[in-house]
Amino acid sequence: MKVPRSLRIVSVVACLALALGQVPFAQAAEKPRITSQDQLPRYSYPFTGKVTAVLTSDAAYAPLAEAVRKDLEKLLADYEIADRATLREVIGTLVSLDVHAGRYESAKQRIAQLRELEEKPAAKLMTGMLAEVYMDTRRSGEHASEAAFRSAFQQAYARRVAALPWDVVADNVRAAKGSAEIATEALLLGSVESSLQPGVDKTGAVSGDVAWSLVAQRTSLAHYLPLKAERAAALSAYIAANARVKQDIWAARGASLGTGGAALPPVVMAVWDSGVDMAPFSNQRWVNTAEIPGNGVDDDRNGFIDDVHGIAFDLDSQRVPEILAPLDAAQREAYPRMRDKTKGILDLQASIDSRESQALKQELAALKPEQAGPFIESLNFFGNFTHGTHVAGIAAAGNPAVRLMAARITFDHRMIPDLPTRERSERDARAARDAIAYFRQHGVRVVNMSWGGSPRDIEAALEANGAGGTPEERRRTAREYFQIFRQAMTEAMASAPEILFVAAAGNSDNDAAFAEFVPSGIDLPNILTVGAVDQAGEETSFTSFGPNVDVFANGFEVESFLPGGERMKYSGTSMAAPNVANLAGKLLALNPALTTDQLVSLIKVGADTLPGGRVRLIHPQRSVELLRVLQAR
C-alpha cells in the first residue's frame, strides 16, 4: 500500500493521544533483539459490538485495557526492542492506561523515561506535558466543580507552556494549538467507526495495533478532549506573547540558475507521484515528440496512449492516459470547498486566524459522527489530487533547464482501502518496473518519490477488510505481498544506475529502515532518502529518521502549486524530497556529465552536519560552488 508523504487529515485523530517519546531498558543478553517491525509479536483480542464503545464505556474498555496492559508489559520484559518509535508507542500506551486508571505515579515515571531519551529538542521539552499538568491538577485538591477544575488546569497549563523556550518549541506549540482546535468527539468517534467497524464485524476481533490505539484514544476522549478550549486558550496566549517568526535559513542557502534556460542543457526529471497538472510548467515540461496529443492512440507504440508529458496508472495499476486524475462533476464542484478546508487545517496548524480556519472550526463544531468518514475521505482525496503538482513545483523551482515528466500513481483515499491480494501486488510490481523502464528509455536523470508503504500498511488494510485470518497469518501474507513489490522496486532501481532516485523518509517520526518503508528503506547507491526540517533547519516533529536517511531539507510550510496554478503551503517529507531533487537537477544543468555517484557526493559533501550528527542539512549554494570549483580545475 502506497501513500503520499505529506501530512494528512487523519493525523488529527492521533493528535488527541498523548505525545510520546522513547524509553531505555536494561536488557538481559539472552533476550531476543527486535530489529525490524516484522519481528514484533502480533496480538489479537476478541471483540464484538460497537468498537466505539471502548471509547465511551468503561464496561467495554476495562477488559481490553487489562489485556493490552498485560501484553505490553510482557513485551517489554521479554524482548530488546531496537526501535525508539516502537518503544514510544508501547510506553505511551501504558501511560494512557495509567492516567485513565488513576495510577499517576506510574504514569509520571514512564513520562520521565520517555522524555529522557527523546532526541528532538522540542519533543523532549513537550513530551507528556499535557498529561503531567492534568494529573497534577487532579491531585492538587478537591475542586468545587468541573468548571473550577478546568480553570485550575488552564492556569497550570499556561504556566508550563510559558516556561518553554519559544525558539525551540514554536512550531510544535502552533501545531498543538491547531490540533486542540480541530479535535472533536464526533470526529474521533466517527473516524474510528468508519475505519474499524467493518473489519471488526467480519472478524470478531481487533489486532494489537488497533487495541493500543483504542485504549489511548479512550484516555484522550475522557480526560484531554474536554479541556480543548482551556488548552487552546493557554497556547494562544503563549503564541501571542512570543509572536516572532523563526529565522528562515533557506533563501540564503539557495542556488537559482536564473531564467536563461536556453543556455543550459535540459535535465529530464520524473515526478513519480499522484499526478501533475502541467499547466503551471509550460516552459519546464518534458515532451514526447513521437506522440500526438489527445488522439487516443499509442502513436509511438510503446504501450502508453497519449504519453505526451508522461505516463499514468490507475488504482489497479492499469495504464491510463491521464497524468492528472480526472475529476467527475461532483468532484469539480467540491474542489473549491476542499481547497478551503485544507487551507483551514493548515492555517490552524500554523496558528493563522484566517477566513478558512474560522469556517473549518465552525464546521467541525457541528460535525456528526456519521459525517466524519466522508469528511476525512474528501480531504484525503483533495490531498492526493494536489500532491503531485505541489511536489513538481518544488522540484522545478528556479531551474529553467528542468523538463518535468509525470509518472502518476493513484493513491487510495478511502477509510477502508481495497483488499490487498497477490494479484494486486504483482500488478503494482509490474507497474513499478514499467515506470522505471520508461524513465530509462527517455533519459530521465532524477526521479522524485514522495510516497511509501510498509508491510504494516498491508496488514492494516487486510484487517480493515476483515481478511487475512489471525494477526500472525496477516503478518505472513503482508510480508509475501510486500516482498513482491520491494523486490521489483529494488531490482528496477538497481538496473538504472544513471538515475538518482530521491525518496521521502516518511512522516511517522520513526526509523524508516526499522519500519521497512519502500522506497525510503531501500539501500542502493543511487537512492537518496530525505528527512524534513523546518525553516530554521531544525528537525520537524513528524519526520522519520534513521541510518538510511541521507540528508534533510525544508519540509515545513513549503509553498508550491496546486492544479490550476493556485499556490498553497504544505508540510511533510513529501516537500523535503523535491528540494533535494531540485538541487540535483540544478547540478545536472550545470554539468550533465555528472554520474549519479558524483551527484550524491556533491549533495552530501555540501551539506552541514548539525551537532550530534543526526541531521545532514543540504546547502544548495555550497554544492553548486563545489561543482564549479571542480569544473575549474
Q: Is residue 439 a contact partner of residue 311, using CB atoms and an 8 Å limit?
A: no
Which of 15-24, 181-190, 438-447 is predicted least confidently?
15-24
Please tell me the predicted confidence (pLDDT) of residue 246: 82
Burial letters 554-578, b for 16+ CB under 10 A, else e = bbbbbebbbbeeeebbbbbbbbbbb
Tell me the C-alpha distance between 469 and 477, whole Å. Answer: 9
Q: Which helix (H) or strand (E) holds 271?
A: strand 267-273
Please tell me the predicted confidence (pLDDT) of residue 25: 31
Please tell me the predicted confidence (pLDDT) of residue 24: 31
User: Is 72's pLDDT higher than 50?
Assistant: yes
Which of these, 506, 313, 317, 331, lies nearest to 427 by C-alpha position?
317
Please tell me the predicted confidence (pLDDT) of residue 65: 98
Please tell me the predicted confidence (pLDDT) of residue 20: 29
pLDDT confidence tier of residue 564, bands split at 50, 70 and 90: very high
User: Is 17's pLDDT higher than 60?
Assistant: no
Please tell me the predicted confidence (pLDDT) of residue 78: 95
Please tell me the predicted confidence (pLDDT) of residue 16: 35
455-464 per-position pLDDT tens digit: 999 999 999 9
Which range of 75-84, 143-152, 215-224, 354-363 scores highest in mean pLDDT? It is 215-224
User: Is 13's pLDDT higher than 50?
Assistant: no
Over residues 385-394, mean pLDDT: 97
Over residues 474-495, mean pLDDT: 97
Over residues 543-550, mean pLDDT: 91
Cell of 146: 468541573
Q: Is residue 420 a contact partner of residue 598, using CB atoms and an 8 Å limit?
A: no
User: Is 351's pLDDT higher than 80?
Assistant: no
Tell me the C-alpha distance between 33 and 29, whole Å. Answer: 9
291-349 per-position pLDDT tens digit: 999 999 999 999 999 999 999 999 999 999 999 999 999 999 999 999 999 999 888 88
pLDDT confidence tier of residue 261, bands split at 50, 70 and 90: low
Over residues 407-436, mean pLDDT: 97
Over residues 166-182, mean pLDDT: 92
Which of 5-9, 281-285, 604-608 is predicted least confidently?
5-9
Unique residue bearing C-alpha cell 464526533? 186
Q: Give the chain's radius of gyration (CA, Å).
A: 24
Please tell me the predicted confidence (pLDDT) of residue 14: 39
The burial class, CB within 10 Å (0-12 / 13-18 / 19+), for 441 is exposed
Over residues 161-179, mean pLDDT: 93
Over residues 424-437, mean pLDDT: 98
Q: For residue 24, say if its preceding peptide bond is cis, omega within 30 degrees of 0.
A: no
Q: Is residue 137 a contact partner of residue 149, using CB atoms and an 8 Å limit?
A: yes
Over residues 195-209, mean pLDDT: 96
pLDDT confidence tier of residue 262, bands split at 50, 70 and 90: low
Tell me the C-alpha distance between 273 and 324, whole Å. Answer: 10
Tell me the C-alpha distance between 248 and 259, whole Å. Answer: 24
Average pLDDT, the chain: 92
Q: Global pTM?
A: 0.92
Which of these, 258, 242, 187, 203, lies nearest to 9 by C-alpha position?
187
CA angle 475, 480, 483 (to 5 degrees): 115
Burial letters 108-132, b for 16+ CB under 10 A, else e = bebbebbbebbebebbbbbbbbbbb
Backbone angles phi, psi at 379, to 5 degrees: -70, -40
Please tell me the predicted confidence (pLDDT) of residue 23: 31
In this structure, the strands spanning 551-554 and 527-533 are: parallel
- Looking at the chain, the whole-number percentage of residues with pLDDT higher than 70 is 95
Tell me the C-alpha distance between 368 and 358, whole Å. Answer: 18
Which of 26-30, 60-64, 451-455, 500-504 is predicted least confidently?
26-30
Instruction: State which amino acid sits at residue 323.
Output: I
593-619 per-position pLDDT tens digit: 999 999 999 999 999 998 888 899 999
Residue 47: other Cβ atoms inside 10 A: 21
User: Is 266's pLDDT higher than 50?
Assistant: yes
Please tell me the predicted confidence (pLDDT) of residue 27: 36
Return the higher-pLDDT residue of 513 and 390: 390
Domains in the chain with CATH codes = 3-241 (no CATH), 250-327+388-595+609-617 (3.40.50.200)
User: Is 536's pLDDT higher than 80?
Assistant: yes
Check residue 285 and report its DSSP letter.
Answer: B
Tell me the C-alpha distance between 237 and 243, whole Å. Answer: 10
Which of these, 118, 39, 21, lies nearest to 78 by C-alpha position?
39
Tell me the C-alpha distance between 538 and 515, whole Å. Answer: 23
Unique residue bearing C-alpha cell 526501535? 83
Q: Is the Cα dihedral 447, 280, 285, 289 positive or negative?
A: positive
End-to-end CA distance of the chain: 48
User: Is 21's pLDDT higher than 50?
Assistant: no
Which of 230-244, 252-266, 434-448 is predicted least confidently?
252-266
User: Is 48's pLDDT higher than 70?
Assistant: yes
User: Is 3's pLDDT higher than 80?
Assistant: no
Unique residue bearing C-alpha cell 499522484? 274
The burial class, CB within 10 Å (0-12 / 13-18 / 19+), for 586 is buried
Please tell me the predicted confidence (pLDDT) of residue 10: 37
User: Is 116's pLDDT higher than 90?
Assistant: no
User: Is 1's pLDDT higher than 70?
Assistant: no
Please tell me the predicted confidence (pLDDT) of residue 260: 61
Q: Which helix (H) or strand (E) holds 192?
A: helix 185-203
